[in-house]
Chain A
Amino acid sequence: MDVELIEIRNYLTEHPPFDQLPDGVLDILPRNLSVRYLRRGSNFPPDEEKNALWLLRTGAVEFRDPDGELMERLSEGEHFANPCSGASLIPRQIGKVIEDSLFYLLPCEIFSELRQQYPDFSNHFEQDLRSRLQHAIIQLQQRRGSGNSLMHVEAGTLIKRAPITIDPAQSIRQAAMLMSRERASSVLVVEQDNLVGILTDRDLRQRCVAAGVDVNHPLREIMTSDLQTLNIHAPAFEALIQMTRLHIHHMPVVDQQGKLKGIITASDILHQHNLNTVSLDSTIRHCQDVDGLVKASKQLPELQAQLISSGMNADQLTQALSAVTDGITKRLLQMAEKQLGPPPVPYAWLICGSQARREQTTVSDQDNALLLDDAFQPEHDAYFQSLARYVSDGLAQCGFVYCPGDAMATNPLWRQPRRVWRSYFNKWINTPEPKALMHSCIFFDMRALHGETGLFTQLQTQVLEQCRNNGIFLTNMAANALQYRPPLGFFRQFVLINDGEHDDTLDIKHRGVIPLVDLARVYALAAGISAINTRERLKAAEAAGVLSHDGTEDLLHALEFITTLRARHQARQHMEGLKMDNYLPPHSLTRPERSQLKDAFAIINSMQQAMKNRYQASGIA
């Protein structure tokens, strides 16, 4: 026997969230609907049918705010639930049917019964943008990742045995005997229950045997102090990132009270993950020539795809990739120095942009600069020019394309002593014209990677002090940060832009990531915050009181959702043998993803408004 009203049932099963309802409910639900047709130009919803959820079968509807500004457009398969969710919560909007439309109407009473009985269905209509987005992030995570990936495992579970510890007053020989007996490559040095250091095979070799230190000396002399530790509940990937960044192979793990629980080694992680950043990083550090680096960096896209499919989120991924890129850059600098000899004056190699923020993907380009000691003389420039050329060309060979805006140390403008950099920043801060602001975006996200990093710390401190509470500068930065606006959402196979224009693909970098990065930069500079990573900036801005708690949470969620979607898009491109990019075709997004992205865009938009009001920025064209 065939199902009655099969056309309507089919429509429901094909459109979220109705697809979440059980078959039995879908069989009877069509009988609870009614059908309405509205011509183009009709008001929506019409006065006489206020008490229903409207499902759009064919046609299109749009909403504008009382000033006539476009807010949203709905098309086939989308719905309008406002009449059923209490009008007070909804901003005033004026609806109009813009194409002849056929609707199915679900009475509000039945809709609320369904919501009570079916939570998966109900979640979709959650009024609160925040909880909706949180839910979306969880869904996005669940869709990827196997159970035993580094993402799902706590650092504590990788500990193989109780920690092997020794007192720092013991001799080097006693330490070596203990390590041999325990077949361990390291011992942890503990003094009065406090972890004070670590002694590894490498320390014994390099600092004792090779250096000719007497094995009867206390081991304190050759141990590594100033240790980085990891909480046992931290996700295991955190160990991966830290080890990559610090170039270490041993990571002590402590509990909540700081009590030592054990140690994780690079090989413990290797067992979890065949291709990983620690092993890639160590390959890079042992490369003897640029060709070796080029070969190693060819693995980056594959690594990105693997890490994402193993369940890493975008923040962790870009941290890991940035750490690897840091490693490649450092290695190139070492090779250059080896070839060119020692520098005539101290210098610091600066990295800018996404790599500096530790938000890099494999499609990023290179942004860098050279900060030279004030003892610099014009005749020294030949050396630094060659250094910059060597590194920049090397990076380009490794796949990091030259910066299209020429923000690289090969450009003499960005290869200057500290006093010149000071004058640059003075100019950017005191006379913020459009070009200066463009440079600000690059050079306010900067960190020293190699050389005399102290040169940079001084510069940064002065600059931050100057930016902070500088009204005119902040107003201009805020206006500049409004240059990229998120879209309103999607309409059919298009991206719907503010003025009702359409884009064929979603440029997720310029319409999602950059607006967030720019927002965080303005708030960070306003509060004199030295962090450059967007998440860290947002959290620090909250702590400094320039961003509200709710605003911060919203922005963090939007960032995570958008960047994770981007990373997944790139992983998918890689698996299909395509070049990775930042352009998401709307048809590749599921309907829930479209509406979740719309939520994220709405958050960015409202936070951009808040920033605009706070710094009275009017926006520049």
Chain B
Amino acid sequence: MLGTWGQNLWRKRQLTRLEDNPLREYYLRPFPSAAYDCRALEFVALDLETTGLDPKKDVILSIGFIKLHGMLIDLSSAQHHLLCPNREIPERSAVIHCITDDQAAEGKHIEDVLPQLLQQLSGRVMIAHYARVEMKFLDRACRQLYGGPFLIPVVDTQRIAKRALERRIQEIRFHDLRLAECRRRHGLPHYRMHNALSDALAAAELFLVQMAQFNCRKPVPLKYFL
């Protein structure tokens, strides 16, 4: 993975390549340096609910995100959008997310929501639990709509949890890394799962806990979490 210095070089190249669109707008602000103290940084915790894991076949059903100013989650920034997919929702995913075709039909289109999300993410750090899914789907959406790839400094709460667990136990089960289980280990309250906003908030709170594991009198550079 590129360091943020390398990422910023890459970002500037995108600016020369991209047309004037929301993605180019997004790239105007530099990525925060990995050396910065997390407590002075801004983050956006994000969760997507999708019909599956393959961005080529599957679609985004809902997007939830929420901003953090350092160690404070700002609930007024919370956003939750249901998207209308241009195809039927497979029964399996409807069961998980409780989003039915009817609800989805009243939803928005990805091209209406993505500019808002990119605007929020610009110049900030993204937080997600198992961020690969979010990254893949956003990348695909950006390429399709704006003709360019999506890149952002990411804090993956699942990766941080995994590293912490590896120091303590030999064999990590998949279950140990689930968001709800990570929260339970730290005494965080139980939230309903598979609602994009709840999961975004849940990941944001988990990150507060992970940040708090460091000595509060010293700076906590972002690179600890990347």
Of listed B75, B189, B201, B211, residue having the most chain A CB within 10 A? B75
Contact yes or no, B208 A35, CB < 8 A: yes
What count of chain B residues pass the 8 Å CB interface test? 26
Asked if A7 contacts B72 (CB within 8 A), the reply is no
* Known contacts A30-B75, A31-B75, A7 near B189 by CB under 8 Å: yes
* Contact of B16 with A by CB under 8 A: no
Provide the residues of chain A in CB contact with B213, threshold 8 Å: 39
A37 within 8 A of B: yes
A32's partner among B75, B80, B197 (CB-CB below 8 A) is B75
B187 in contact with A31 (CB, 8 Å): no
Given contacts A35-B73, A35-B204, contact A57 B189 (CB under 8 A): yes
Q: Which of B190-212 contact A (CB under 8 A)?
A: 191-192, 195, 197-198, 201, 204-205, 208-209, 211-212
**Complex contact A100–B189 (CB within 8 A):** no
> Which residue of A6, A11, A31, A35 is within 8 Å of B72 (Cβ)?
A35
Interface residues of A in 15-52 (CB under 8 A from B): 30-39, 42, 49
Q: Which residues of B contact A49 (CB under 8 A)?
A: 72
Closest to A30 in B: B75
Whether the pair A37, B205 counts as a contact (CB closer than 8 A) is: yes
> What are the 6 closest A-B residue pairs judged by CB atoms, nearest first?
A35-B73, A37-B208, A39-B212, A7-B191, A31-B76, A33-B75
B76 contact set on A, CB distance < 8 A = 31-32, 34
User: A58 contacts which of B189, B192, B197 (Cβ < 8 Å)?
Assistant: B189
Majority DSSP secondary structure for residues of B touching A: mixed
A-B contact count (CB 8 A): 67
Chain B hits for A140, CB < 8 A: none
From residue A29, how far is it (CB to closest CB) to chain B in Å?
A: 10
Q: Is the CB of A34 within 8 A of B73?
A: yes
Other 5 A-B pairs with CB < 8 A, given A4-B197, A37-B209, A39-B212: A4-B78, A58-B188, A100-B209, A102-B205, A102-B208
A486 interface residue (CB < 8 Å to B): no
B73 touches A100 (CB 8 A): no
Q: Find chain A residues with CB under 8 A from B211 CB.
A: 37
**Chain A: interface size category:** 20 to 34
13 A–B contacts, CB within 8 A, in A order: A6-B192, A7-B198, A8-B75, A32-B75, A35-B201, A37-B208, A39-B213, A57-B189, A58-B188, A58-B189, A99-B187, A102-B208, A105-B72
Q: Is residue A270 contacting chain B, with contact meaning CB distance below 8 A?
A: no
B216 within 8 Å of A by Cβ? yes
From residue B220, how far is it (CB to closest CB) to chain A in Å?
13
Kindly state the separation between the CA atoms of A589 and B15 in the bound complex, as whole angstroms. Answer: 64
Interface residues of B in 58-107 (CB under 8 A from A): 71-76, 78, 80
Residues of B within 8 A of A36 (CB): 71-73, 208
Asked if A5 and B205 sit within 8 Å, CB to CB, the answer is: no
Complex Cα gap A220–B73 (Å)? 87
Instruction: Give chain B nearest CB distance to A5 CB in angstroms.
Output: 6
Q: Evaluate whether A5 and B71 lie within 8 angstroms (CB atoms) in the complex, with A58-B189, A59-B187, A102-B188 already known.
A: no
Given A35-B72, A42-B216, A100-B186, do A7 and B192 touch, yes or no (CB 8 Å)?
yes
Taking each of A6, A31, A32, A102, which has the highest tally of chain B beta carbons within 10 Å of its own beta carbon? A102
Task: Report chain A residues within 8 Å CB of B209.
Answer: 37, 100
Specify which chain A residues have a CB less than 8 angstroms from the CB of B80 in the assembled complex: 4
CB contacts (< 8 Å) of A39 on chain B: these are 212-213, 216
Q: How far is the CB of A79 from chain B (nearest CB, A)?
A: 16
CA distance A115 to B93 in the complex (A): 45
CA distance A596 to B133 in the complex (A): 51
B145 to chain A, nearest CB (A): 26
- Known contacts A5-B197, A36-B72: does B189 contact A102 (CB below 8 Å)? yes
Distance from B187 Cβ to chain A, minimum over Cβ atoms (Å):
6
Report the minimal beta-carbon distance from B176 to chain A, rounded to whole angstroms.
19
A108 to chain B, nearest CB (A): 15
Contact of B78 among A5, A42, A102 (CB under 8 A): A5
List the B side residues contacting A2 at CB < 8 Å: 195
Whether B216 pairs with A34 at a CB distance below 8 angstroms is: no
Known contacts A32-B76, A34-B72, A59-B187; A7/B201 CB under 8 A: yes
